[in-house]
Structure 1
Amino acid sequence: MTKITPADIDDYSVKHGIHRHSVLELFAFEAFARRAAQVNQPFMLKGSLITRQYLGPQELESSQRQVADLDWVYIVPVDTNNVNHIRVTLDNWMLAVTETHIDDGVRFRSFSENRFWRMIDYAMDDDFPTVNTDLLVWIGGEEFEFSLDVSLNLKIDPPPVPLLYKPVSGEPFHLSYTVPLSLQIAWKLHQTIVRPRFKDLLDLIWLLRNNQIDIAAVWRALWDECQHDKADINLLKLLLDVDDPKAPGLSRHPLYTRKIKGYRGALINPDSLDEAWQSWRHSSVGGYRNNLASAQTTVHHVDLLPDNVYDVLKDIAHELHQSGLASLIAAIGVPRVDKSWRNICSRIFKNNTTSS
């Protein structure tokens, strides 16, 4: 096993033009995942670490996608009324992972020394609770602290898939439970329906461009998500409307135009959608006046992003067409989610449910 040294951290930072803190974060996340793989309990890895595993060579070479968080899902259903049992289950997992020794130049503080789950009692009031804790790690002798999230009772359909995880340092390792690509894409499409974010559009472009997609599985998972929260799946048609550069479909999203009372903004709602893109792309602090994180929290090299939002929207429309998902979106005739998935989509799945 290759040991991470301070020189490795510096070299990776310089080679890829990435802030040293981001390198430490990536190394810490992957070291935790490596240990979790050895412990092999029913916890599924999702989020940006998995997104990176499905990127193409161009995005990986430029280290374009940042890792912003470390997200896990406990895939065994739990009784949220039994908080003590949940706490013990999570504690035992964290103890096993943080006390697993691997000779890779990384050492975690045992969870026994700072055993806590932030707001765990209050979190159990949610349908899909998420709890959070903090971990301390030494990477090449350098101390680093980060947070970790675990979600509970989250429906995972299609089920978790095994993955040979390829870290930036050290040998690949096998994870028994990771979020399926089809579900990852469905979640990002659902996010675009309910609260469009530029980072999800970029992820969708990269994931659709570089992978073979089971569009039937994507659509089934997306349909279930929309049925659960009554999200209007018809809004995805806005992503296909890119005929007019001055008025792309996404600019008419009800959240962007603030047609929903109390909305505080996934997009900052300036005079144009492109102005929102420019603010997100160039601002080092983000549009926090409307709760918008900056591009620098999503990608390492903002200068590699398209100059204007219309190029982004053309790319997402193109990838939706190439994958076959555009045909499903166009087939939606009523802007509601109360018709069955089969009634709307059966004719599209007669011959082929996959597309490259």
Structure 2
Amino acid sequence: MNSAILQFLTLLVIAVQCVSIAASQSVSRPGFIFLPFEDKSDFEGKWDVGTDVPRFLSAYFKERFRVPSISPVLVKDFMNGRRAAAASLDDVKLWMELFKRFHLRYLIAGTVDQFDVSRFMTGQPLVGGYEAFKGEVRISYVVYDLERTAVSSSPVSVRKGEAAGEFADRSMTLTLFGKPSDRTIEFRDLDKIAFGSEDFNGTVIGQAHFRLAEHVSVDLENALKPLKGSNLSSSDSLLLYGQSLDNISLSLKPVIITGAIVFLEGKSVFINLGSDDGIYVGQHLDVFDEGRESTRKRKGEIEILDVRGPHLSHAQILIGHKELKVKDKVMVTLIKP
């Protein structure tokens, strides 16, 4: 074998090894890295909502999708460990360091646009009346594909969106002679509760966060196909899942909600599920015939356009518009705390 051929084969082996190393470094798993969000809300309490809101989302995603999810607290710890605390959160070099450390495909950045807990009261404050409470949280977010960003060396966004969660406590509490009720005291001391704790999750703002997280989850589940069917089968994934644990721990359970089509015209339908059933705009529901549960077959899919009341919503038919009819069953699985 002459020296030219030998030299060529040597260069070819080196090139193959370099490609192999580069490929191994770019391999990623389904999962999320949450950056701290920018806080644009008017909230003035003790909670750091720019960190705590995405931290809650991270814990929710981890349980809902069963994939590793790195919270903004762990991102801050990583930055402090690398002496990069002053680095800009939109610095692609920082993102690549996070990608190299955690090998997770998606990075989420965003803003907290609203974070509010409201108290409503009717009657005379010094005599007697009724009070109720409402929690609201609204965010904007961008999802980046770190695997494609590593190849292009510039940010590659794959999803932009807005989402909101709102929960109103409809049970009115009686107040007498200006004496604060237990719920009023809880409202005043709300931010003394640990964010994401079991006590927090039972408040109106905690319940609003569950609704927010589910809205974002459904949007990303439909947009990011690799999330569907992902699991923690490999030992590496299980290890990373354990390393991604934060001190927010959520216990979630799936609940199947069933309703029916009550009116149909063209591709427009009304169903007997609404706000009290956990229905929201943009949600997708499967449609089945009205036969026995054991023999039902999926015959279509609808998307919620407008929630008209506690048990009424307007939707459009996405699949099966020629087959659907009044009294067909609609079903959706909701994630409940």
- Class of the TM-score when normalised by the shorter of the 2 chains: under 0.3
**Please, what TM-score do these two structures have when normalized by structure 2?**
0.27
Which fold has the larger relative contact order, with Cα–Cα distance below 8 Å and residues 6 or more apart in sequence? 1
* Greater share of residues in strand: 2
* Greater share of residues in helix: 1
